[in-house]
Amino acid sequence: MHPNLVCALAPGVLDAFTDAEGRAILAGGRVGLEKEALRVTADSSVATTPHPPALGSALTHPCITTDFSEALLELVTPALASSQEVLALLDDLHRFVYGRIGDERLWATSMPCVLHGGAQIPLAQYGSSNAGRMKTVYRRGLGNRYGRVMQVIAGVHFNYSVDDRLWQRLPGLPGFAARADARPGGADAGGEQALRADGYMGMVRNLQRLGWLVPYLFGASPAVCKSFVQNAATDLESFDATTFFYPYATSLRMGDIGYQNRQEAGTGMKACYDSLDAYIRSLTWAIETPCPQYETIGVKVNGRYEQLNDHVLQIENEYYSTVRPKQLTDWMERPTLALRRRGVLYVELRSVDVNACHPLGIDAEQMGFLRLFMLYSLLADGPRIDARERRAIDANQVLAAHRGREPGLRLRAGADSLTLRDWALRVLDAMQPLAELLDGSLDDGRGGDYCRGLAAQRAKVLDPELTPSARMLAEMRERGEGFAQFARRLTEQHRKTFLAAPPSPERVAWLMDLAATSLDRQRAIEAADDIDFDEFLRRYFAQSEAHPVELAAPV
C-alpha cells in the first residue's frame, strides 16, 4: 500500500519528542469548538423570532452568534488547552441560552425539520451598520445561489493549533527538511511563519486524504426529514412515511445532498492546497472573477442588494471545504489577507456532525481522537494533491457519507481501491505510536485516554453497528420513530437537562456582561458609520496586501 494513503510518519519523527519536554509539546496546543444549533418552536418548526436580545449582539458577541439564519445559533468557545474546559464552557453556553429563549428549543441533530420551504427561513440580522448589513447581504446571496434550506444544516467545527514550541523542533526532522528545502528560497526562506504554513498546509492535505474517516466514525445523519429534500427524483429510500435514508449512510450532511459549491454546474471552484500561497491565490481568483450564472441574479436589484457581488465566491467564507487553514482577522480585514500577513494560526475541521445522543453534540472521547488525528496529520508526510487524487478524495467523501457502513465498501486508493475497513485499520494502527507517546506525557492520573479513544474507534471499524449512524437507525427502528420523532424526543431530553441546572452565578454574571458589552459594541459600530453602504463595499473589496482596508475601526 502506498504510504500516502496512510499518511505514514517518517521513521524517526517521534524519536525527537520522547523526552519530557517533547512529550509535553505534542500534548500541548489548543482546541476550540463552534457548535451550531437551530432554534425551533415546540412543534419543531424553524423559529421565526429575532435573535433574543438577552443573548447579546450576534454581530459582536465572542461566544453566542448566528450563522446563516436568525434561527441558527452558533456557540463558540475560545481556544483552550483543555478539552474538558472547552466542553464545560460549551455546556454553560447551552444552559445560559436555554434560560433566555422561552419556549423554544435547540434542535438536537445536524439535519433540520420540520421545514415549510426556504421562504420561511429568516436570514440572520446584525443591525443597521454597514458591517452588519454586509453580513446579511452575504447570506441573502447564499440563499439566492444555493437555496435557504441547505443553509440551516448544523455542524460542529473543531479548531486545533499545536504548541508553538513544536515549530522549533521540526527543522531537520525526517520529511520536514525536504519540505523546507523545496520552499522557494530554500529552508531559511520565511522563517518560522513559513515553516508553520508548510506544516499546517500538509496537515490540511492529509485531513482531506483521510477525511472519509470522520463521517464514518462520527457521522450522525443517516436519515433526514422528507420536508428537507427538494428533489422529487431523489434515490434516497423511504424509512417511513416522513423519513428518507440510505441503509448504510453515515452522514447525509457530508454527502451530495448537503451544502456544497456547484462545481458540477460550472459555477464552483476547487481551492489549491499545494501551499499557503497557492491556497490564497485560488480563493482570491474566485472572489475577483465574475460568474455568468450569478450575474443573472443581479447584485443591486430595485435598490436592494441580492448578493455582495456576482463573482464565483462573494467572499472567502462561501467556499465549502471540510477543512480550512485560519487566522484571526482585524476589523473588516479579508481572511485571505490575514493569512497572507500573519500566516496560519489554527486549522478548522468542519466535517463533524452534531451527535444527537449527546446534549452538547460532541464528547471528550471524540475531541481527544480528533486532536490525535489532526496532530498525526501534521506530523505525517503530506505530499501535494494531484488531479486524480483530488477526484478520489471527493468520491471517497461521498462514498463514506452515503454508504460508509456497507460491507466490503471499497474506496479509491491511488490507482487501485481498498476496503474502507482495511484502510481505516491501517490508519488507526499507524496512529498508535503517537497515542502511546501522548499518553506517556500525562501526569494527571488519567493516563491512557488517547489509546483508549483510539481503541474505541477501532472497535467501530471492526463492528459498524457501534457507529453513531448505525445506533441512530437502530433506535429509530426499535422505537418505531421517524427522523422527526427521534430528533424531537432527544431535543426535549436535552432541553430538560439544560434547564434543570443553570450555570454558576459567576458564569452567568460573566455571560451577562459579555452580552451587555456586545450590545454596546454594536451601537458604537452603528454610530461610527460615516459612509453609505455602496462606498463601504467598494472600500472593503479594494483592500489588498499592500493597502489595508480604508474603514476605520470604531472605538
pLDDT of residue 179: 60
Please give the single-letter amino acid code of residue 388. Answer: R
Banded pLDDT at 209 (limits 50, 70, 90) = very high
Banded pLDDT at 79 (limits 50, 70, 90) = very high
Rounded to 5°, the CA angle 321-327-331 comes to: 115
The answer to whether the CB of 157 falls within 8 A of the CB of 350 is: yes
50-73 average pLDDT score: 98
155-201: pLDDT as tens digits? 999 999 999 999 998 887 776 655 654 555 545 556 888 999 999 99
DSSP character at residue 159:
E
DSSP character at residue 311:
B
Please give the single-letter amino acid code of residue 514. Answer: L
Q: What are phi and psi of 387, to 5 degrees?
A: -60, -40
36 pLDDT more than 50: yes
Please give the single-letter amino acid code of residue 54. Answer: A
Q: Is residue 523 part of a domain?
A: yes
The answer to whether the CB of 95 falls within 8 A of the CB of 89 is: no
96-105 average pLDDT score: 97
Q: What are phi and psi of 352, to 5 degrees?
A: -90, 125
- Kindly report the CATH number assigned to the domain that includes residue 528: 3.30.590.20
Q: Report d(CA 12, CA 35) in Å as an integer.
A: 37
Query: CB neighbours of 90 closer than 8 A, spacing ≥ 6?
Result: 33, 35, 75, 77, 360
494-537: pLDDT as tens digits? 999 999 999 999 999 999 999 999 999 999 999 999 999 999 99
pLDDT of residue 298: 97
The answer to whether the CB of 9 falls within 8 A of the CB of 434 is: yes
The answer to whether the CB of 420 falls within 8 A of the CB of 11 is: no
pLDDT of residue 1: 45
DSSP character at residue 422:
H
Q: Report d(CA 391, CA 305) in Å as an integer.
A: 36
Q: Report d(CA 66, CA 64) in Å as an integer.
A: 7
Per DSSP, helices labelled H in 359-419 are 364-379, 387-403
3-class DSSP assignment, residue 330: coil
Query: CB neighbours of 230 closer than 8 A, spacing ≥ 6?
Result: 147, 149
Q: What are phi and psi of 217, to 5 degrees?
A: -75, -35
534: left (phi over 0), alpha (psi -120 to 50) or beta: alpha
Lowest mean pLDDT among 59-73, 224-238, 382-396: 224-238
Q: Is residue 266 part of a domain?
A: yes
The answer to whether the CB of 27 falls within 8 A of the CB of 441 is: yes
pLDDT of residue 300: 97
The answer to whether the CB of 23 falls within 8 A of the CB of 437 is: yes
Written as nine digits, the cell of 355 is: 451527535
What torsion do the CA atoms of 329, 331, 335, 339 make, to the nearest 10 degrees? -50
Count of the separate structural domains present in the chain? 1
The residue segments making up the domain with residue 354 are: 3-542
Please give the single-letter amino acid code of residue 357. Answer: C
Q: Is residue 547 part of a domain?
A: no
pLDDT of residue 372: 98
Written as nine digits, the cell of 283 is: 480563493
Q: Report d(CA 278, CA 269) in Å as an integer.
A: 14
240-295: pLDDT as tens digits? 999 999 999 999 999 987 655 444 344 568 899 999 999 999 999 999 999 999 99
297-314 average pLDDT score: 97
Q: Is residue 29 part of a domain?
A: yes
Q: What are phi and psi of 421, to 5 degrees?
A: -60, -50
Query: CB neighbours of 200 closer than 8 A, spacing ≥ 6?
Result: 276, 325, 344, 347, 378
pLDDT of residue 265: 42
Q: Which residue has the cell 477501532?
A: 458
The Cβ of residue 496 has, within 10 Å, a number of other Cβ atoms equal to 11
337-363 average pLDDT score: 97
* Cα–Cα nearest to 450, from 372, 554, 335, 542: 372
Q: Is residue 414 part of a domain?
A: yes
pLDDT of residue 552: 81
Q: Report d(CA 112, CA 108) in Å as an integer.
A: 9
The answer to whether the CB of 55 falls within 8 A of the CB of 64 is: yes
Q: What percent of the chain has pLDDT over 90?
A: 83
Q: Is residue 548 part of a domain?
A: no
Q: Is residue 115 part of a domain?
A: yes
Written as nine digits, the cell of 97 is: 441560552
Q: Is residue 554 part of a domain?
A: no
Q: What are phi and psi of 104, to 5 degrees?
A: -80, 165
